[in-house]
Structure 1
């Protein structure tokens, strides 16, 4: 009985499947009324368990889904590892490319500005950069602060016994100039010749930077460098305005000199043991020029005399080719060396700048006479070339076996440090560069004669113009003979071309100024004569007719303009556009 009651209860509670009340319902709707196993429907009976992970998710408002599945975890791990791998590859490629670029750039700088191989790597790198900064293209002004900082650091490393200065001995007594960094002299005889030459170049570069930064100050509070004319303070009541966008001007109480003085550096070079007479002579001439700029003519003349003694120290006094009182070269003396000619030329120019024309003019004329008596240069003789050149220019074709070996050695092997330059103790040869030096002497003489007020005004001016014309003709002729820069890029020819180009540019400038002044005076004189020849009432004629033909100096002024226009072809050397690879090493 109990079993029957339970079965009856189950039959009463069981919900039958309703049939479609209408006969026109499609088979699709009847299919939707069926309940698939995985579909989650609202059932009246809860006897059958409904598990969420077995059902198909539907777009319901309160429905919750499982986003981080096992497959999605694996996909995210793969994507993260792939991104990390590509990031590492990208940074590695960028790092290797940067290292390769810096390596090639330093190799290029080493070939342009060689450094001694015995120096430390960091010393060589900083010295290359210091020499490269003045020659960088695209910069508005030369960053002398950076040059001075690098050059000073190189000198400090070379004088440090623990880095590159092992074996240096500090001089004491009369040879020691002072105890500070800029003036402490050393004995460098224990070092090799490349080491001493590099040390000398670093000192000269540092001295040149000290000249440029002589009137600059550094703000101690901000560590910024400014010109002294922009400093605010009682000593500068009218400061120069600061450029737009620059930091504000410093106050005088917060400033100190930005760099060391060049005087101590030049004296350090002159007192250092181990430098050649030529090196000390060049330093003395640079120091004398600096003293001339600082309006110290007496000190500058003593420095010129010191340089002249260095140029003649290897000869006994009776063999000196010049008069010790007038500094005029003797006709019966030996042929003067290159050093003597250079020093006497600058000494005469110094005397002419300070009004001693009577002493300067005979010196220059004797130098010109001596240069014209030099032995001629024979073009058929074999010209020596330095190790820094790619091939020997004496061959008609670069595709020779010796040139190919030279190029391979130049590319795949470390470049040898260049040999020492000429010491200047022997007389020069009258080649293209010496002929341009003669043209420069003509310019000096012409300018001095033109500006000389002691003689007749018209005669001195015409003589000065004649000397200037000769200088321009000689420089232009030699510049055309040297050819274009692409024909021969050897260092000797490039130096000769630069000397001739500077001489031609200065000569045309002087010629234009001289003739322009004479033409202006000529026109004023003609106008004055025309006004004086007419009647004050205008009753009997209108005076002399106007002259249509230009005067002598006006015609020559037109000639100078035409010569200047034609000379621009050789003065302005248009460089070929650089390739993409060459642009990588330029700033």
Structure 2
């Protein structure tokens, strides 16, 4: 029997390839090419090109992973960026709300625009050289007025004082009846109108290029009405052409008259608007029109009094009418300054004297427990102050309570005493500038000295608020300036007189060398003023601006 052989077939098993290794038949095609003969084109097999797979399964998976990872990181980055910007914007708006409170009755967009407009007007850091972009600020106030007067936005409930409203030639529509609005809404509306008036004053004489919507001074416009245009500042846009220009903003009287004719503003708000408009007219050198506006302010301030508050001829305050209101004091003082600036010293002096007499007759400020505390006793409330700070950060800020309407007499607080010092400064200027006699000039100098003493004493007090400090700084600064000018003139006259007497005495042989070298009275006072100015420099460290018309002495 033939033996039966079992034939076993041994399969050739290809070794496992690591997952990330290259495929030899795709990536190493050159190694499969035989090396036994030269690689010449005519000896190579036809249509046999190396095959390479560039998008393998592993590479496709790697690309998918990379795309997913990039999308995930990009989404996270943009989300974090948006959240951070939102937080920064929210913190900024919260800070602006605390610095420039806005009425809660307004819509969110109106409140945001109001805060931005106030910040643009108050923004005076070194980045922009302390300048305000009044074109942008005025446009912001203009948008706010439109939103507040639009019944579909924030002006619901506004009523015309007459059927269809009243139109004034050259001014436009007069004010509304806003008595139905809340007090905070009315106060914010007043701030917007006065902000627009300030922007209009700064944009007086400016034009707007319609083609580019850019504001320029009228002096740089290229056109027939301006044959010699001034060059634009470096870095500014090119000068506009006259045919493309229109007035950049409305006239200031548009907004001042709107405030004066609106029914619903307080007496103080209307008086302040009238005085601001009158000061603008004084600046535009129209004293007759300004005088009528000052009289209008006096009529508004005296409208609530049953007895005559002032003399209708001289405009001096009536002493028999009792203590005048804060609005009457402000209007009368502004009228006196107007007369002084227009060289009507004989009319201004009696008004100033009546105002000073009325201020000195005001009641004293009542003593409070806070005013009797010492600094050491105040330090014990540090924990309370810290808790108050934390509460103010967490809780939403409340709209501040309404300020006094000015219809009641003020008390003799530190601020009012500095106002008295300011009146004394005006009186000293008038007495000195009249130059009737030598005694009159010395009296004016004495009034100025006393005003400086009062302002410095009140400014060094510990119980004076921020507004009072600003008033005292202005008074002290103006008083020192006037005092210096007065003494310098008297010292110059003293030197001239001494030189004349010295020349005559030397020719006749009279006078000694000690008498010739003796320091005069006014030269000695100049040294006193220098010492006072040095001592007051720490009090005048913060920059202040002199009040309008505070000094009218010629240089």
**Which residue, 12, 34, 39 being the options, matches 1:42?**
34
Cα 1:221–1:85, aligned 2, differ >3 Å: closer, same or farther? same
Summarize the Cα distance change of 1:238–1:526 in structure 2 as closer, same or farther, 3 Å threshold: farther
Q: Which residue of 2 aligns with 1:501?
A: 473
Give the 3-state SS of the residue equivalent to 2:425 in structure 1. helix
Instruction: Give the Cα–Cα distance (whole angstroms) in 2 for the partners of residues 517 and 347 of structure 1.
Output: 29
- 1:464 lines up with 2:444 in the alignment: yes
Assess, with a 3 A threshold, how the Cα gap between structure 1 residues 394 and 264 changes in structure 2: closer, same or farther. Answer: farther
Q: CA deviation at 1:545?
A: 4.0
**How far has the Cα of 1:167 moved from its partner?**
1.2
**Compared with structure 1, are the counterparts of its residues 44 and 356 closer, same or farther at alpha carbon in structure 2 (3 Å cutoff)?**
closer
Which of 406, 412, 426 is equivalent to 1:444? 426
1:525-540 matched pairs, under 5 angstroms: 525-535=497-507
Q: CA deviation at 1:344?
A: 0.6
For residues 38-71 of structure 1, the C-alpha deviation after alignment (integer angstroms, 9 at most, x for no partner) is: 96473549xxxxxxxxxxxxxxxx9886555443
Tell whether 2:218 aligns with 1:236.
no
State whether residues 279 and 290 of structure 2, in contact with CA within 8 Å, keep that contact through their aligned partners in structure 1: yes
Contact kept, 8 Å, 2:427 with 2:447, in 1: the verdict is yes
> Between Structure 1 and Structure 2, how many residues are aligned?
497
Shift of 1:340: 0.9
1:255–1:43 distance in 2 versus 1, CA, 3 Å: closer
For 2:303 and 2:242, the matched residues in 1 are separated by: 48
1:339 offset after TM fit, Å? Answer: 1.0
Within the alignment, does 1:338 sit opposite 2:326 as a pair? yes
Which of 65, 68, 71 lines up with 2:58 in the alignment?
Answer: 71
Task: Extract unaligned runs of 5+ from structure 1.
Answer: 1-37, 46-61, 384-392, 484-491, 575-587
| Cα separation, partners in 2 of 1:80 and 1:430, compared to 1, 3 Å | same
In structure 1, C-alpha distance between the alignment counterparts of 2:122 and 2:150, rounded to whole Å: 29
Is structure 2 residue 250 aligned with structure 1 residue 260?
Answer: yes
Contact 2:278 2:290 in 1 (8 A): yes
Shift of the 394–277 alpha-carbon distance from structure 1 to 2, 3 Å rule, reads farther
Q: Indicate the SS of the match to 1:218.
A: strand
- After TM superposition, give the deviation of residue 175 of structure 1 in Å: 7.3
Classify 1:233/1:554 alpha carbon distance in 2 versus 1 (closer, same or farther; 3 Å): farther
Is 2:184 the counterpart of 1:194? Answer: yes
Change (3 A) 1:43 1:217: closer
What secondary structure, in the 3-state scheme, does the structure 2 residue paired with 1:225 have? strand
Counterparts of 2:103 and 2:345, CA distance in 1 = 45
SS at match of 1:374: coil
1:67-466 equivalence runs, <5 A: 68-136=55-123, 137-138=125-126, 139-140=128-129, 141-172=131-162, 176-178=166-168, 183-316=173-306, 319-381=307-369, 397-399=380-382, 406-453=388-435, 455-456=436-437, 458-466=438-446
Cα RMSD (Å): 2.9
**Alpha-carbon distance in 2 for matches of 1:219, 1:105:** 33
Partner of 1:24: none
Alignment partner, residue 572 of structure 1: 541
Q: What are the ranges of 5 or more consecutive residues in structure 2 without an aligned counterpart?
A: 1-29, 38-48, 544-555
Give the superposition deviation at 1:527: 3.2
Partners of 1:223 and 1:459 in 2: CA distance:
61
* Aligned positions of 1:22-37 closer than 5 A: none
Residues 206-233 of structure 1 show CA distances to partners (whole Å, capped at 9, x for unaligned) of 1111111111111223222111222233
Q: Distance in 2 between matches of 1:324 and 1:175?
A: 33
Kindly name which structure, 1 or 2, has the bigger radius of gyration based on alpha carbons: 1
